[in-house]
Structure 1
Protein backbone atom coordinates (compact mmCIF):
# COMPACT_ATOMS: atom_id res chain seq x y z
CA UNK A 1 0.00 0.00 0.00
CA UNK A 2 2.74 2.48 1.01
CA UNK A 3 4.70 1.71 -2.14
CA UNK A 4 1.64 2.32 -4.32
CA UNK A 5 0.88 5.58 -2.54
CA UNK A 6 4.49 6.75 -2.82
CA UNK A 7 4.72 6.12 -6.58
CA UNK A 8 1.33 7.75 -7.22
CA UNK A 9 2.25 10.72 -5.06
CA UNK A 10 5.53 11.32 -6.92
CA UNK A 11 3.88 11.21 -10.34
CA UNK A 12 1.04 13.45 -9.21
CA UNK A 13 3.37 15.90 -7.45
CA UNK A 14 5.49 16.32 -10.56
CA UNK A 15 2.46 17.06 -12.70
CA UNK A 16 1.08 19.46 -10.10
CA UNK A 17 4.36 21.38 -9.91
CA UNK A 18 4.63 21.76 -13.70
CA UNK A 19 1.03 22.89 -14.18
CA UNK A 20 0.95 25.17 -11.16
CA UNK A 21 2.41 28.23 -12.87
CA UNK A 22 0.24 27.80 -15.96
CA UNK A 23 -3.20 27.31 -14.45
CA UNK A 24 -3.27 28.83 -10.95
CA UNK A 25 -1.81 32.30 -11.40
CA UNK A 26 -3.28 34.59 -8.77
CA UNK A 27 -4.76 31.69 -6.81
CA UNK A 28 -3.61 30.01 -3.61
CA UNK A 29 -4.83 26.65 -2.38
CA UNK A 30 -4.06 22.97 -2.25
CA UNK A 31 -4.34 19.73 -4.17
CA UNK A 32 -4.65 16.38 -2.37
CA UNK A 33 -4.13 12.81 -3.56
CA UNK A 34 -5.03 9.73 -1.52
CA UNK A 35 -5.31 6.04 -2.26
CA UNK A 36 -5.02 2.48 -1.00
CA UNK A 37 -4.44 -0.99 -2.43
CA UNK A 38 -5.24 -4.29 -0.69
CA UNK A 39 -4.36 -7.70 -2.15
CA UNK A 40 -4.77 -11.29 -0.95
CA UNK A 41 -8.14 -12.83 -0.08
CA UNK A 42 -9.77 -9.63 -1.29
CA UNK A 43 -8.53 -7.02 -3.74
CA UNK A 44 -9.61 -3.43 -3.27
CA UNK A 45 -8.44 -0.21 -4.86
CA UNK A 46 -9.40 3.29 -3.76
CA UNK A 47 -8.19 6.55 -5.27
CA UNK A 48 -9.27 10.06 -4.34
CA UNK A 49 -8.41 13.58 -5.47
CA UNK A 50 -9.27 16.95 -3.97
CA UNK A 51 -8.65 20.53 -5.06
CA UNK A 52 -9.24 23.84 -3.28
CA UNK A 53 -8.34 27.21 -4.81
CA UNK A 54 -8.93 30.77 -3.59
CA UNK A 55 -8.25 34.22 -4.97
CA UNK A 56 -8.72 37.43 -2.98
CA UNK A 57 -8.85 41.08 -3.99
CA UNK A 58 -9.62 44.11 -1.82
CA UNK A 59 -13.24 43.16 -1.06
CA UNK A 60 -13.87 40.01 -3.09
CA UNK A 61 -12.91 36.38 -2.65
CA UNK A 62 -13.32 33.55 -5.18
CA UNK A 63 -13.27 29.94 -3.95
CA UNK A 64 -13.23 26.80 -6.10
CA UNK A 65 -13.40 23.24 -4.80
CA UNK A 66 -13.47 19.86 -6.52
CA UNK A 67 -13.23 16.26 -5.37
CA UNK A 68 -13.36 12.80 -6.93
CA UNK A 69 -13.37 9.30 -5.42
CA UNK A 70 -13.09 6.00 -7.30
CA UNK A 71 -12.96 2.46 -5.96
CA UNK A 72 -13.06 -1.23 -6.93
CA UNK A 73 -13.56 -4.38 -4.86
CA UNK A 74 -12.68 -7.77 -6.37
CA UNK A 75 -12.80 -6.30 -9.84
CA UNK A 76 -16.21 -4.66 -9.40
CA UNK A 77 -16.53 -0.90 -9.31
CA UNK A 78 -18.09 0.18 -6.01
CA UNK A 79 -17.30 3.89 -5.84
CA UNK A 80 -17.45 6.61 -8.48
CA UNK A 81 -18.32 10.08 -7.29
CA UNK A 82 -17.26 13.67 -7.85
CA UNK A 83 -18.29 17.13 -6.72
CA UNK A 84 -17.67 20.68 -7.93
CA UNK A 85 -18.30 23.95 -6.15
CA UNK A 86 -17.78 27.69 -6.58
CA UNK A 87 -18.36 30.54 -4.13
CA UNK A 88 -17.86 34.29 -4.35
CA UNK A 89 -17.69 36.45 -1.20
CA UNK A 90 -18.08 40.21 -0.82
CA UNK A 91 -16.83 41.88 2.35
CA UNK A 92 -19.38 44.01 4.19
CA UNK A 93 -17.23 44.68 7.26
CA UNK A 94 -14.14 43.15 8.82
CA UNK A 95 -16.11 40.10 9.99
CA UNK A 96 -19.34 40.16 7.96
CA UNK A 97 -19.63 39.20 4.28
CA UNK A 98 -22.21 38.25 1.69
CA UNK A 99 -21.81 35.26 -0.62
CA UNK A 100 -23.26 33.42 -3.59
CA UNK A 101 -22.47 29.78 -4.32
CA UNK A 102 -23.09 26.95 -6.79
CA UNK A 103 -22.50 23.25 -6.11
CA UNK A 104 -22.90 20.10 -8.21
CA UNK A 105 -22.39 16.41 -7.46
CA UNK A 106 -22.61 13.05 -9.26
CA UNK A 107 -22.55 9.68 -7.49
CA UNK A 108 -22.92 6.32 -9.25
CA UNK A 109 -23.54 4.41 -6.01
CA UNK A 110 -25.13 6.88 -3.58
CA UNK A 111 -28.76 7.36 -2.60
CA UNK A 112 -28.94 10.24 -5.11
CA UNK A 113 -27.45 10.06 -8.61
CA UNK A 114 -26.77 13.75 -9.08
CA UNK A 115 -27.86 17.16 -7.93
CA UNK A 116 -27.06 20.83 -7.66
CA UNK A 117 -27.62 23.84 -5.42
CA UNK A 118 -27.64 27.54 -6.34
CA UNK A 119 -27.92 30.09 -3.57
CA UNK A 120 -26.48 32.82 -1.43
CA UNK A 121 -26.51 34.34 2.03
CA UNK A 122 -24.37 36.00 4.66
CA UNK A 123 -21.31 34.82 6.55
CA UNK A 124 -19.70 35.94 9.78
CA UNK A 125 -16.11 35.37 10.89
CA UNK A 126 -16.52 34.71 14.61
CA UNK A 127 -12.81 34.18 15.29
CA UNK A 128 -10.25 35.87 13.04
CA UNK A 129 -6.87 35.26 14.63
CA UNK A 130 -4.75 32.12 14.82
CA UNK A 131 -4.44 29.61 16.30
CA UNK A 132 -8.26 29.27 16.14
CA UNK A 133 -10.35 30.68 13.29
CA UNK A 134 -14.07 30.08 12.86
CA UNK A 135 -16.64 31.29 10.35
CA UNK A 136 -20.34 30.49 9.95
CA UNK A 137 -22.75 31.01 7.05
CA UNK A 138 -26.51 31.05 6.63
CA UNK A 139 -28.46 31.35 3.42
CA UNK A 140 -30.90 29.81 1.01
CA UNK A 141 -31.42 28.95 -2.61
CA UNK A 142 -32.69 26.43 -5.13
CA UNK A 143 -31.90 22.72 -4.83
CA UNK A 144 -32.44 19.83 -7.25
CA UNK A 145 -31.42 16.17 -6.89
CA UNK A 146 -32.29 12.91 -8.62
CA UNK A 147 -32.93 9.87 -6.42
CA UNK A 148 -31.51 6.43 -7.14
CA UNK A 149 -33.83 3.45 -7.54
CA UNK A 150 -33.25 0.36 -5.40
CA UNK A 151 -31.72 -2.54 -7.34
CA UNK A 152 -34.93 -4.59 -7.24
CA UNK A 153 -37.16 -1.48 -7.48
CA UNK A 154 -39.89 -2.94 -5.23
CA UNK A 155 -42.29 -0.04 -5.79
CA UNK A 156 -42.05 -0.04 -9.58
CA UNK A 157 -41.83 3.75 -9.48
CA UNK A 158 -39.49 5.70 -11.79
CA UNK A 159 -36.51 7.57 -10.39
CA UNK A 160 -37.71 10.93 -9.08
CA UNK A 161 -36.18 14.38 -9.21
CA UNK A 162 -36.95 16.82 -6.42
CA UNK A 163 -36.49 20.53 -7.16
CA UNK A 164 -37.33 23.01 -4.42
CA UNK A 165 -36.34 25.94 -2.23
CA UNK A 166 -33.72 25.04 0.38
CA UNK A 167 -31.97 26.58 3.37
CA UNK A 168 -28.25 26.28 4.04
CA UNK A 169 -26.08 26.50 7.18
CA UNK A 170 -22.31 26.00 7.30
CA UNK A 171 -19.45 26.12 9.80
CA UNK A 172 -15.70 26.23 9.04
CA UNK A 173 -13.40 25.72 12.03
CA UNK A 174 -9.59 25.63 11.79
CA UNK A 175 -6.95 25.23 14.49
CA UNK A 176 -3.17 25.56 14.12
CA UNK A 177 -1.30 23.56 16.77
CA UNK A 178 2.13 24.72 15.58
CA UNK A 179 3.99 25.46 12.34
CA UNK A 180 3.84 21.76 11.40
CA UNK A 181 0.41 20.49 12.46
CA UNK A 182 -3.12 21.86 11.93
CA UNK A 183 -6.68 20.54 12.08
CA UNK A 184 -10.06 21.45 10.63
CA UNK A 185 -13.74 20.64 11.13
CA UNK A 186 -16.21 21.61 8.38
CA UNK A 187 -19.97 21.14 8.77
CA UNK A 188 -22.83 21.89 6.36
CA UNK A 189 -26.57 21.46 6.56
CA UNK A 190 -28.82 21.72 3.49
CA UNK A 191 -32.52 21.67 4.37
CA UNK A 192 -35.51 21.23 2.05
CA UNK A 193 -38.98 19.72 2.38
CA UNK A 194 -38.10 16.41 0.70
CA UNK A 195 -34.71 15.76 2.34
CA UNK A 196 -32.15 17.27 4.70
CA UNK A 197 -28.49 16.67 3.92
CA UNK A 198 -25.87 16.94 6.68
CA UNK A 199 -22.11 16.64 6.20
CA UNK A 200 -19.22 16.81 8.63
CA UNK A 201 -15.55 16.42 7.82
CA UNK A 202 -12.68 16.46 10.29
CA UNK A 203 -9.03 16.25 9.33
CA UNK A 204 -5.46 16.66 10.58
CA UNK A 205 -2.60 17.92 8.41
CA UNK A 206 1.10 17.43 9.20
CA UNK A 207 3.81 19.22 7.25
CA UNK A 208 6.38 16.95 5.56
CA UNK A 209 8.74 19.19 3.55
CA UNK A 210 8.54 22.29 1.37
CA UNK A 211 4.97 22.46 0.02
CA UNK A 212 4.02 18.86 0.83
CA UNK A 213 2.06 17.57 3.82
CA UNK A 214 0.37 14.41 5.03
CA UNK A 215 -3.36 14.54 5.80
CA UNK A 216 -5.83 12.13 7.38
CA UNK A 217 -9.54 12.93 7.29
CA UNK A 218 -12.94 11.40 8.01
CA UNK A 219 -16.17 12.55 6.38
CA UNK A 220 -19.79 11.67 7.20
CA UNK A 221 -22.70 12.38 4.82
CA UNK A 222 -26.27 11.82 5.99
CA UNK A 223 -29.64 12.16 4.21
CA UNK A 224 -32.82 12.13 6.27
CA UNK A 225 -34.99 10.79 3.42
CA UNK A 226 -33.66 8.32 0.84
CA UNK A 227 -35.18 5.90 -1.72
CA UNK A 228 -36.19 2.44 -0.51
CA UNK A 229 -33.24 0.05 -0.37
CA UNK A 230 -30.52 2.72 -0.12
CA UNK A 231 -28.52 3.81 2.92
CA UNK A 232 -29.01 7.15 4.64
CA UNK A 233 -25.39 7.53 5.75
CA UNK A 234 -22.09 7.33 3.85
CA UNK A 235 -18.60 7.70 5.31
CA UNK A 236 -15.29 8.43 3.59
CA UNK A 237 -11.89 7.88 5.24
CA UNK A 238 -8.88 9.38 3.51
CA UNK A 239 -5.12 9.52 4.05
CA UNK A 240 -2.79 11.03 1.49
CA UNK A 241 -0.44 13.74 0.30
CA UNK A 242 -1.34 17.44 0.10
CA UNK A 243 0.47 19.91 -2.14
CA UNK A 244 0.08 23.56 -1.13
CA UNK A 245 0.08 26.22 -3.83
CA UNK A 246 1.17 29.70 -2.75
Structure 2
Protein backbone atom coordinates (compact mmCIF):
# COMPACT_ATOMS: atom_id res chain seq x y z
CA UNK A 1 0.00 0.00 0.00
CA UNK A 2 1.73 3.16 -1.25
CA UNK A 3 0.05 5.43 1.27
CA UNK A 4 1.67 3.60 4.21
CA UNK A 5 5.23 3.50 2.79
CA UNK A 6 6.42 6.76 4.40
CA UNK A 7 5.12 5.65 7.80
CA UNK A 8 6.68 2.19 7.53
CA UNK A 9 10.04 3.51 6.32
CA UNK A 10 10.12 6.12 9.09
CA UNK A 11 9.38 3.48 11.71
CA UNK A 12 12.27 1.34 10.44
CA UNK A 13 14.64 4.32 10.59
CA UNK A 14 13.61 5.11 14.17
CA UNK A 15 14.18 1.54 15.29
CA UNK A 16 17.54 1.31 13.56
CA UNK A 17 18.69 4.56 15.16
CA UNK A 18 18.42 3.40 18.77
CA UNK A 19 21.46 1.96 20.56
CA UNK A 20 21.62 -1.72 21.45
CA UNK A 21 21.04 -2.19 25.17
CA UNK A 22 22.02 -5.77 25.88
CA UNK A 23 21.67 -5.66 29.66
CA UNK A 24 18.12 -4.22 29.68
CA UNK A 25 15.66 -6.48 27.88
CA UNK A 26 12.83 -3.98 28.23
CA UNK A 27 9.17 -4.27 29.14
CA UNK A 28 6.19 -4.90 26.85
CA UNK A 29 2.65 -3.69 27.54
CA UNK A 30 -0.47 -3.06 25.51
CA UNK A 31 -4.12 -3.70 24.84
CA UNK A 32 -6.44 -5.14 22.20
CA UNK A 33 -9.87 -3.55 21.86
CA UNK A 34 -12.87 -4.88 19.94
CA UNK A 35 -16.43 -3.61 19.78
CA UNK A 36 -19.09 -1.74 17.86
CA UNK A 37 -19.18 1.92 16.87
CA UNK A 38 -21.99 4.29 15.96
CA UNK A 39 -20.74 6.65 13.26
CA UNK A 40 -22.21 9.99 12.13
CA UNK A 41 -21.03 12.46 9.53
CA UNK A 42 -20.20 11.24 6.04
CA UNK A 43 -21.71 7.86 6.97
CA UNK A 44 -24.44 6.97 9.46
CA UNK A 45 -24.09 3.36 10.50
CA UNK A 46 -23.12 0.82 13.13
CA UNK A 47 -19.61 -0.49 12.55
CA UNK A 48 -17.31 -3.22 13.87
CA UNK A 49 -13.85 -2.14 14.94
CA UNK A 50 -10.59 -3.61 16.22
CA UNK A 51 -7.78 -1.62 17.83
CA UNK A 52 -4.29 -2.53 19.03
CA UNK A 53 -1.97 -0.43 21.15
CA UNK A 54 1.39 -1.80 22.23
CA UNK A 55 4.35 -0.26 24.00
CA UNK A 56 7.95 -1.27 24.64
CA UNK A 57 10.22 0.49 27.15
CA UNK A 58 13.97 0.00 27.38
CA UNK A 59 16.35 2.21 29.36
CA UNK A 60 15.96 5.73 27.91
CA UNK A 61 13.92 4.57 24.90
CA UNK A 62 10.21 3.82 24.59
CA UNK A 63 8.20 2.83 21.52
CA UNK A 64 4.46 2.88 20.89
CA UNK A 65 2.47 1.18 18.14
CA UNK A 66 -1.15 1.99 17.30
CA UNK A 67 -3.22 0.05 14.76
CA UNK A 68 -6.93 0.48 14.07
CA UNK A 69 -9.43 -0.94 11.60
CA UNK A 70 -13.11 -0.07 11.23
CA UNK A 71 -15.45 -1.58 8.66
CA UNK A 72 -19.14 -2.07 7.92
CA UNK A 73 -21.06 -3.84 5.19
CA UNK A 74 -24.79 -3.48 4.63
CA UNK A 75 -26.64 -5.78 2.22
CA UNK A 76 -23.34 -6.71 0.61
CA UNK A 77 -22.31 -3.06 0.13
CA UNK A 78 -19.40 -1.54 2.00
CA UNK A 79 -20.60 1.58 3.80
CA UNK A 80 -17.64 2.37 6.07
CA UNK A 81 -13.97 1.46 5.96
CA UNK A 82 -10.99 3.09 7.65
CA UNK A 83 -7.48 2.02 8.67
CA UNK A 84 -4.92 3.79 10.82
CA UNK A 85 -1.32 2.95 11.70
CA UNK A 86 1.02 4.96 13.90
CA UNK A 87 4.48 4.31 15.32
CA UNK A 88 6.32 6.56 17.77
CA UNK A 89 9.74 6.43 19.43
CA UNK A 90 10.65 8.57 22.44
CA UNK A 91 14.09 9.23 23.93
CA UNK A 92 13.97 10.49 27.53
CA UNK A 93 16.80 12.83 28.52
CA UNK A 94 15.48 14.05 31.89
CA UNK A 95 12.82 13.14 34.42
CA UNK A 96 10.10 15.09 32.60
CA UNK A 97 11.50 15.76 29.11
CA UNK A 98 11.91 13.71 25.93
CA UNK A 99 12.30 13.99 22.18
CA UNK A 100 10.19 11.97 19.77
CA UNK A 101 9.72 10.82 16.20
CA UNK A 102 6.29 9.72 15.02
CA UNK A 103 5.03 8.28 11.72
CA UNK A 104 1.32 8.06 10.92
CA UNK A 105 -0.73 6.74 8.02
CA UNK A 106 -4.50 6.77 7.65
CA UNK A 107 -7.02 5.76 5.03
CA UNK A 108 -10.72 6.55 5.37
CA UNK A 109 -12.69 6.04 2.17
CA UNK A 110 -15.49 8.29 3.40
CA UNK A 111 -13.38 11.24 4.59
CA UNK A 112 -12.73 12.85 1.21
CA UNK A 113 -9.10 11.68 1.32
CA UNK A 114 -7.76 8.50 -0.27
CA UNK A 115 -4.92 8.59 2.28
CA UNK A 116 -3.08 10.90 4.67
CA UNK A 117 0.46 10.14 5.87
CA UNK A 118 2.75 12.21 8.05
CA UNK A 119 6.07 12.17 9.90
CA UNK A 120 7.09 14.55 12.69
CA UNK A 121 9.96 15.13 15.11
CA UNK A 122 9.77 17.19 18.26
CA UNK A 123 9.87 17.75 22.00
CA UNK A 124 7.61 16.26 24.67
CA UNK A 125 7.14 16.93 28.37
CA UNK A 126 5.41 15.12 31.24
CA UNK A 127 3.62 18.13 32.74
CA UNK A 128 1.82 16.18 35.45
CA UNK A 129 2.72 12.80 36.95
CA UNK A 130 1.08 11.55 40.15
CA UNK A 131 -0.95 8.70 41.60
CA UNK A 132 -4.06 10.47 40.29
CA UNK A 133 -2.92 10.42 36.67
CA UNK A 134 -0.65 11.94 34.02
CA UNK A 135 -0.67 14.77 31.49
CA UNK A 136 1.77 14.84 28.55
CA UNK A 137 2.19 17.38 25.74
CA UNK A 138 4.21 17.24 22.52
CA UNK A 139 5.09 19.77 19.82
CA UNK A 140 7.20 19.64 16.69
CA UNK A 141 7.49 20.15 12.92
CA UNK A 142 6.85 17.53 10.28
CA UNK A 143 5.79 16.77 6.74
CA UNK A 144 2.50 15.41 5.41
CA UNK A 145 1.55 13.78 2.12
CA UNK A 146 -2.12 13.43 1.22
CA UNK A 147 -4.21 12.28 -1.73
CA UNK A 148 -7.77 13.48 -2.12
CA UNK A 149 -10.56 11.39 -3.60
CA UNK A 150 -10.35 13.70 -6.61
CA UNK A 151 -6.83 12.39 -7.31
CA UNK A 152 -5.09 15.60 -6.27
CA UNK A 153 -1.93 15.07 -4.19
CA UNK A 154 -0.58 17.45 -1.56
CA UNK A 155 2.80 17.55 0.19
CA UNK A 156 3.34 20.19 2.86
CA UNK A 157 5.25 21.13 5.98
CA UNK A 158 3.12 20.79 9.11
CA UNK A 159 3.17 21.48 12.80
CA UNK A 160 2.15 18.70 15.19
CA UNK A 161 0.55 19.27 18.59
CA UNK A 162 -0.44 16.43 20.92
CA UNK A 163 -1.93 16.30 24.42
CA UNK A 164 -2.65 13.16 26.46
CA UNK A 165 -4.53 13.29 29.78
CA UNK A 166 -5.13 10.20 31.92
CA UNK A 167 -7.03 10.38 35.24
CA UNK A 168 -7.50 7.53 37.72
CA UNK A 169 -11.10 8.00 38.86
CA UNK A 170 -10.97 4.97 41.16
CA UNK A 171 -8.99 1.76 41.56
CA UNK A 172 -10.71 0.23 38.51
CA UNK A 173 -11.99 3.23 36.50
CA UNK A 174 -9.92 5.54 34.28
CA UNK A 175 -10.69 8.59 32.16
CA UNK A 176 -8.60 9.42 29.09
CA UNK A 177 -8.48 12.34 26.66
CA UNK A 178 -6.15 12.51 23.64
CA UNK A 179 -5.98 15.38 21.16
CA UNK A 180 -3.81 15.35 18.02
CA UNK A 181 -3.50 18.38 15.72
CA UNK A 182 -1.62 18.27 12.40
CA UNK A 183 -1.77 21.72 10.86
CA UNK A 184 -0.47 22.91 7.49
CA UNK A 185 -1.24 25.52 4.86
CA UNK A 186 -3.52 23.16 2.88
CA UNK A 187 -5.38 21.40 5.69
CA UNK A 188 -5.58 20.98 9.45
CA UNK A 189 -6.38 17.53 10.87
CA UNK A 190 -7.80 17.31 14.38
CA UNK A 191 -8.43 14.06 16.23
CA UNK A 192 -9.98 13.95 19.70
CA UNK A 193 -10.47 10.69 21.61
CA UNK A 194 -12.40 10.68 24.91
CA UNK A 195 -12.64 7.37 26.77
CA UNK A 196 -13.90 5.92 30.04
CA UNK A 197 -12.48 2.50 30.95
CA UNK A 198 -13.75 0.26 33.76
CA UNK A 199 -11.80 -2.82 34.80
CA UNK A 200 -13.54 -6.18 35.08
CA UNK A 201 -10.52 -8.33 35.93
CA UNK A 202 -6.76 -7.79 35.89
CA UNK A 203 -6.79 -8.31 32.12
CA UNK A 204 -10.31 -7.43 30.92
CA UNK A 205 -12.09 -4.07 30.85
CA UNK A 206 -15.09 -2.31 29.33
CA UNK A 207 -14.60 0.97 27.46
CA UNK A 208 -16.91 3.71 26.23
CA UNK A 209 -15.27 6.15 23.83
CA UNK A 210 -16.13 9.11 21.65
CA UNK A 211 -13.86 10.06 18.74
CA UNK A 212 -14.04 13.21 16.63
CA UNK A 213 -12.04 13.61 13.41
CA UNK A 214 -12.06 16.94 11.58
CA UNK A 215 -10.40 18.16 8.36
CA UNK A 216 -10.63 21.87 7.58
CA UNK A 217 -10.24 21.29 3.82
CA UNK A 218 -12.25 18.54 2.08
CA UNK A 219 -13.70 18.03 -1.42
CA UNK A 220 -17.17 19.35 -2.23
CA UNK A 221 -20.12 17.33 -0.87
CA UNK A 222 -17.91 15.90 1.91
CA UNK A 223 -18.51 16.72 5.56
CA UNK A 224 -15.56 18.09 7.49
CA UNK A 225 -16.32 16.25 10.73
CA UNK A 226 -16.84 12.55 11.51
CA UNK A 227 -17.67 11.12 14.93
CA UNK A 228 -17.42 7.60 16.36
CA UNK A 229 -19.19 6.49 19.53
CA UNK A 230 -18.19 3.00 20.62
CA UNK A 231 -18.60 0.44 23.37
CA UNK A 232 -15.93 -2.24 23.45
CA UNK A 233 -14.18 -4.97 25.40
CA UNK A 234 -10.48 -4.44 26.12
CA UNK A 235 -7.87 -7.12 26.78
CA UNK A 236 -4.80 -5.71 28.51
CA UNK A 237 -1.38 -7.39 28.52
Give the TM-score taking structure 2 as reference length.
0.83
SS at match of 1:97: strand
Q: Is the 8 A contact 2:34 2:49 kept in 1?
A: yes
SS at match of 1:165: strand
SS at match of 2:217: coil
- Structure 2 residue corresponding to 1:220, chosen from 212, 215, 230: 212
The equivalences for 1:57-206 within 5 A come to 57-149=58-150, 159-206=151-198
Question: Quick check: which one's strand share is greater?
Answer: 2
Give per-residue Cα distances to partners, 1:131-170, cap 9 Å, x unaligned: 1210000011110111123xxxxxxxxx211111110000
Q: Partners of 1:45 and 1:169 in 2: how far apart?
A: 30
Q: Partners of 1:69 and 1:28 in 2: how far apart?
A: 23
Q: Partners of 2:208 and 2:52 in 1: how far apart?
A: 15
Hey, what does 1:13 align to over in structure 2? none
SS at match of 1:231: coil
Q: How many residues align?
A: 206
Give per-residue Cα distances to partners, 1:59-108, cap 9 Å, x unaligned: 00011010010012344211111100100000121001000010011112
Q: Partners of 1:45 and 1:124 in 2: how far apart?
A: 38
Q: Partners of 1:240 and 1:127 in 2: how far apart?
A: 28
| Structure 1 moving runs of 4+ over 4 Å | none
Hey, what does 1:244 align to over in structure 2? 236
Hey, what does 1:208 align to over in structure 2? 200
Hey, what does 1:233 align to over in structure 2? 225
Give per-residue Cα distances to partners, 1:17-48, cap 9 Å, x unaligned: xxxxxxxx9420101001279xxxxxx65210
CA RMSD of aligned residues (A): 1.6
Q: Tell me how far 1:208 sits from its aligned partner.
A: 1.1
Q: Tell me how far 1:130 sits from its aligned partner.
A: 2.3
Q: Is the 8 A contact 1:184 1:202 kept in 2?
A: yes
Which structure has more relative contact order (CA 8 Å, sep 6+)? It is 2
Q: Partners of 2:36 and 2:95 in 1: how far apart?
A: 40
Q: Tell me how far 1:193 sits from its aligned partner.
A: 0.5
